Amino acid sequence: MSHSHSNHSGQRPEKPVLSPQFLSASHRSLFFQRLNDLARYQQTSPEYQAVLFILTSDDESYAKMGPYFSSNGFRSFDMFNETDFSRGYAKIARAAADLFGQDYETSLSDLVGSLDHDLFHTFLQALIIRKYGVNG
């Protein structure tokens, strides 16, 4: 059985168009507000988008992660040295750093067991964004 990425006409399928499922209207608004503050290449970067989706998901994530994320990158090393996180937030913050391409190992089984419903939803959406980016 072939696992080819082509359709019956021999052409590669187009990239899926996926829109993230935001937790709330304020999450969506803050995400796009902060996205617009980034340089153009960063605005289209799935790495930046995935982290931004996580950090704008709720007040605690935004307060603790927001100061360490900008057009200068994601200063996760400083964030972990300077910020106290509860267990679930620590896990999703490490996952965000990992999705950004920084060297943090993330145990999926530990992550899933540590996240409440909203953080789990946020994580799943961030994975999709990291794979496909945000299209609207």
Q: pLDDT, tens digit, for every residue of 56-97?
A: 999 999 999 999 999 999 999 999 999 999 989 999 999 999
How do the domains of the chain map onto residue ranges? 25-132
* Type of residue numbered 8: H
d(CA 5, CA 117): 33
**Strand segments (E) across the chain:** 69-70, 73-74
- Contacts with 32 (C-beta within 8 Å, 6 or more apart), sequence order: none
Distance CA 104, CA 68 (A): 16
**pTM, rounded to two decimals:** 0.85
Residue-averaged pLDDT of the chain:
88
- DSSP 8-state symbol, 67: G
Q: At what angle do helices 87-99 and 117-132 cross, to 10 degrees?
A: 0
Q: What pLDDT, on the 0 to 100 scale, is given for residue 105?
A: 82
